[in-house]
Amino acid sequence: CHLCQTSHGNSDRIIIKTKFWTFYTTGSPVRNYHIRFHPNEHLRRFSQLNVNQINDLAKTLKVIFQGLDDISIDKNRNILFNCCPFHYDANFHLFGDIISHEIIGGAEMADDMRVARKLPHIAASEIQKSIEKYVNEIEW
């Protein structure tokens, strides 16, 4: 599967990689600071996650959100989980997106015209720096 094999832009877009999860800025963001994450193990559905994976996800989401707060990213954020539907047989890898609200205007209001202005590797670098202190405080 693609998520099991990709390097996420030769690692310059990886924000944090834990024992169970990889968080990175997507190569084709729909908003500035669009973060994508997936379990390191190939799982098709959220219901397949074990307790350790869920605990690690919760801790990492907290760290990411604290870092986004510190660099003044809007606190209105959506977390979207994408998984394989039940009774659908596909080699799908569970992944999620963190998409922050942005105030935009003009032509960008049309859904098909929204554009992220922050390059993914630069956004990743900013988020990495902002989460350093929180990563060191967490008991992994």
Confidence grade of residue 124 (pLDDT, cut at 50, 70, 90): very high
Of residues 65, 14, 66, the one with CA closest to residue 40: 14
The residue with greater pLDDT, 14 or 9, is 14
Distance CA 48, CA 60 (A): 19
pLDDT above 80 (res 15) = yes
Q: How many helices (H) and strands (E) does the chain have?
A: 3, 5
pLDDT of amino acid 10: 67
**Interval 54-64: pLDDT, tens:** 999 999 999 99
Q: pTM score, two decimals? A: 0.86
Distance CA 133, CA 66 (A): 10
Among 14-28, 40-54, 96-110, the minimum mean pLDDT is found in 96-110
- What domains, with CATH codes, occur in the chain? 2-137 (3.30.428.10)
Of residues 32, 43, 8, 40, the one with CA closest to residue 127: 32
Answer whether 102's CB lies under 8 Å from 74's CB: yes
